[in-house]
Amino acid sequence: MEAMKETVDQSLREMRDTFASGRTRSVKWRKTQLEAIIEMVKDNEDKMCDVLFQDLGKHSIEAFRDELGFVMRSATTALNSLDKWVVPRKSNLPLLFYPATGKVISEPYGTVLVLSSWNFPISLSLDPMIGAISAGNTVLLKASELSPNASALLAKTIPSYLDNKAIKVIEGGPDVATILLQHQWDKIFFTGSPRIGKIIMAAAAEHLTPVTLELGGKCPTIIDHHSVSKDMKSVVKRISGGKWGSCSGQACISVDYILVEQSFASSLIEMFKPVIRSFFGENPKESGCVARIVTKKHFQRLSRLLNDPRVQASIVYGGSMDEEKLYVEPTILLNPPLDSEIMNEEIFGPVLPIITLRDIQESIGFIKSKPKPLAIYAFTMDEKLKTRILSETSSGSVTFNDVMIQYMCDALPFGGVGESGMGRYHGKYSFECFSHEKAIMEGSLAMDLEARYPPWNNFKLTFIRLAFREAYFKLVLLMLGLKR
Amino acid sequence: MVKVFQAADATDLVTELRRSFDDGVTRGYEWRVTQLKKLLLICDNHEPEIVSALHDDLGKPELESSVYEVALLRNSINLAVKQLKDWMAPDKAKTSLTTFPASAEIVYEPLGVVLVISAWNYPFLLSIDPVIGAISAGNAVVLKPSELAPASSSLLAKLLEQYLDSSAVRVVEGAVIETTLLLEQKWDKIFYTGSSRIGRIIMMAAAKHLTPVVLELGGKSPVVIDSDTNLKITAKRIIAGKWGCNNGQACISPDYILTTKEFSPKVIDALKQELEAFYGKNPMESKDMSRIVNSNHFDRLSKMLEEKEVSDKIVYGGQKNRDKLKIAPTILVDVPLDSQIMSEEIFGPLLPIITLNNLEECFDVIRSRPKPLAAYLFTQNQKLKERFALTVSAGGIVVNDIAVHLAVPTLPFGGVGESGMGSYHGKFSFDAFSHKKAVLYKSFIGDAAIRYPPYSTGKLRLLKALVNSNILEIFRVILGLS
């Protein structure tokens, strides 16, 4: 541990010196780093797919779609937009302040810490780093020890592509994180669970470090079967693809549970079965298209959720588990008890409860009774229901008629609210996430208003009152002695 | 008999406000505008009482109260009323080929039930301005004014209760105990104005509930004076910004001056001259300056002046009167850099001048200290202005003036590092109390098989082409030519 403390001290010192030197402020430097990230991912595509397979059993297409392709596009967007993003924004000043000018410039925070999660270890490491670098910061990454191969690959590869006096990688688990959090950072970006998010924020409070916390929650999916009946097959495909095709349900924006009217429930379940079979074959374990559960600990957690006898009784599809292979079959539940653990913590696995309601309108109240999730999904063409969902529920985001893809839309801020997090990123929001928006105002030494200065008298008081009200005409009258 | 605020009261308060919020009381445009207009009525109907309370609490001159508190608030309210419809409207967002066909927007939604804790130095401004933001954004809000300005605190409690909808807007008066009880509750946002020390405590309490915070803190705001400046105007603006704003007790007060050894005597002379023009030969008798807020702060400032190696550096002023809680405008030159007066935010009528061999050195001096809320520069040198704006990290930078950026609603007002996080004023206030919810509308047209397992090489190629937004490649794959 002493050695680790020494490493952290040294790294921080070096990064701070690098930042102080001004090197990371240059747009050219930032672009070089972004290009290097693209090159790094391109050169190491196979190795990255390998480690994602080793750590999570991800198919290379899943790996490319959710992680590698995503990172390359994110870096490309930043590269193409950076010149625009760094331009100061002019602010219009009220006439009162003429001839002063105002603008806002984006200034890097300095030396930032990125703590990423194990489920998308490449993209959740590199994407925030892209933001930090575009904004001109030096950055230290600690990837999750629960995806050790990905973490090791990043630790080995990043130094040979990026400026390693400005961008560093440290490997390790909670004890390394603790050491890191004892230091002062200019910003901390964390992706993970709400429980750890609280610890991060409390540690950041000691140093008044601003934080972005990308957390999680139970993302509900409303199926208004009345209004989407003719597209129901698409609905089921989209949900299935999103739930079981992306890290086996171990994603912060995974469909956690479904809300549907009682009358449609059994038809819905019957529609899922052939879709799951078409995606994953008769034996999903052998399909190579289903990611595995990340660790034994998480496997046991999911086991525990399913072993509740009342939950067991609600299994209508799947349910088989293989501890050795860390495999859980795509599983559907019908109405597990609302007070069971599986309905009160984020599932983060390939189990999909369907909760039935008498009327789909009840879904609003149901969602409101739970902590604010990262995403709400709703399959409906009913404009009234859409409006109700938007105005009566709160979540990081809402997606109508699809799942997961809001992640891909980099014109949309990606982040949570309440228990699901604070702050946001993607696209320009990543740049802003790692920038301090500094106001700059410039006055003129040429003109001066006597009324600004003591000693105070009634004239000055009236003058300033009128000036503030922007009652310019009255102001002129006052100055001409025509107003009392 | 005053009822003591207890834990159960805090819980009940939040429960009640949450119910109002859930019932939709604060969501509608009408409610928000009505509340804002009521705040305007408070300004219109009660200015003399506000001025009087500020005089009781701080000895604040009428002009400062009228202008720097009431008038600023009026402007803030009027702007919010005028712009609210615009602010509340969703922003359209662009979608891309990967998410086609879809449309996207960002919807502004209130966070819920928020807590505003304000400071004692501008008790009306710093209480109501954040509340304006909270209400415009559609939240229910609890305000806890500072107990160190008790007349203002009780007037605020009385007026807000009288004019605003108490099912959604409440004031809790009190000190450490009451604040602690409030901080134990779960809020959807906490907005705090005050010291860095308490800012840490606030953020730590907020962490327990994952409550986002805006912390408007302070710091030592430096003023760099270049020898090419118009010294008379410079001196006037510094004096108006320091002693003319609550007698140096403001978060963006010019804290200390940096100038060259050569120019320093001219700076001192200019300051002395203008100080006398503003406050007369007997500034202790002048009614145009606030007094020191209380004996704790008086003693704190006294100690700073009495420190060895500091007391002999006074070149102007230095008179004190503990009974009247007055300290004369005081200028010091070249106090030790590790003295108390150069280590903590002064927040009072003392102005140290640190002289440098070369103005260049100002950057190192500033950088060696925590990031301040504001940094000031007086110069005509364009290159120096640019370098200063780019390399000095502070909440905000003002060139050739002092503090005025606070009154500009189109500039975000907030700190960085030790001086705080988050910002407000104008639309930034509305944003500070809103959640910007991303909304994606997708249709059922076009369901690309490439999205779904089982995975194949063809799908991978198409995916790569989509990611690269390579239209040609996309067509080729679809047509089976790739």
Return the SS3 of A456. Answer: coil
Chain-chain contact of A409 with B104 (C-beta, under 8 angstroms):
yes
Chain B residues with beta carbon closer than 8 angstroms to that of A107: 390, 393, 416
The token duo for B138 is: 């559609």
* Residue range A409-425, pLDDT digits in tens: 889 999 999 999 999 99
Confidence of residue A455 (pLDDT cuts 50, 70, 90): confident
Residue-level pLDDT at B1: 47
In this structure, are residues A225 and A359 in contact, taking their beta carbons and an 8 Å threshold? no
Residue B482 reports pLDDT greater than 70 = no
Confidence of residue B243 (pLDDT cuts 50, 70, 90): very high
Put simply, the chain B residues between 281 and 320 with a CB less than 8 A from any chain A CB are: 286, 288
Contacts of A139 (CB under 8 A, 6+ apart): A15, A111, A112, A113, A114, A129, A132, A133, A166, A167, A168
Residue-level pLDDT at A437: 98
Confidence of residue B14 (pLDDT cuts 50, 70, 90): very high
CA distance readout (Å), B428 to A416, B81, B134, B208:
19, 14, 11, 26
Sign for the CA dihedral angle at A230, A233, A234, A239 comes to positive
| Of B61, B440, B452, Cβ closest to residue A399 | B440
Residue-level pLDDT at B217: 98
Contacts of B255 (CB under 8 A, 6+ apart): B219, B220, B221, B222, B223, B345, B346, B372
**How many residues does the structure list for chain B?**
482
When mean pLDDT is compared across A7-11, A479-483, B93-97, B307-311, the lowest value belongs to A479-483
The residue from A49, A62, A67, A214 that is catalytic is A214
Cβ–Cβ pairs < 8 A, chains A and B: 299
Its ipTM equals 0.95
Residue-level pLDDT at B228: 96
Chain-chain contact of B467 with A73 (C-beta, under 8 angstroms):
yes
| Of B188, B237, B436, Cβ closest to residue A418 | B188
When mean pLDDT is compared across A315-324, A380-389, A452-461, B58-67, the lowest value belongs to A452-461
Residue-level pLDDT at A467: 79
Q: Residues B223-250: what's their mean pLDDT?
A: 97
Cα A320 versus chain centre, distance: 32
A219 is catalytic: no
* Residue range B47-78, pLDDT digits in tens: 999 999 999 999 999 999 998 999 999 999 99
Q: How far apart are CA B22 and CA B186, in angstroms?
A: 15
Residue A189 class from Cβ within 10 Å (0-12 exposed, 13-18 middle, 19+ buried)?
A: buried
Chain-chain contact of A461 with B468 (C-beta, under 8 angstroms):
no
| Of A59, A107, A391, Cβ closest to residue B455 | A59
DSSP conformational letter for A411: T
Residue A160 class from Cβ within 10 Å (0-12 exposed, 13-18 middle, 19+ buried)?
A: exposed
**Percent of chain A at pLDDT above 90?**
88
Q: Which of A468, A469, A475 to mutate to test the interface with B (most CBs of B within 10 A)?
A: A468
* Residue range B119-131, pLDDT digits in tens: 999 999 999 999 9
Residue-level pLDDT at B189: 98
Chain-chain contact of B210 with A412 (C-beta, under 8 angstroms):
no
Active site residues of B: 216
Chain A residues with beta carbon closer than 8 angstroms to that of B97: none
Sign for the CA dihedral angle at B310, B311, B316, B318 comes to positive
Chain-chain contact of A197 with B99 (C-beta, under 8 angstroms):
no
Q: How far apart are CA B242 and CA B43, in angstroms?
A: 25
Residue (of B334, B344, B418) closest to B374 by Cα position:
B418
Chain-chain contact of A468 with B71 (C-beta, under 8 angstroms):
yes
* Residue range B385-405, pLDDT digits in tens: 999 999 999 999 999 999 989
Q: What is the mean pLDDT of chain B?
A: 94
Chain-chain contact of B447 with A410 (C-beta, under 8 angstroms):
no
Residue-level pLDDT at A15: 98
* Residue range B101-116, pLDDT digits in tens: 789 999 999 999 999 9
CA distance readout (Å), A144 to A53, A112, A117, A155, A222:
16, 17, 5, 11, 32
Put simply, the chain B residues between 101 and 140 with a CB less than 8 A from any chain A CB are: 102, 104, 106-107, 109, 111-112
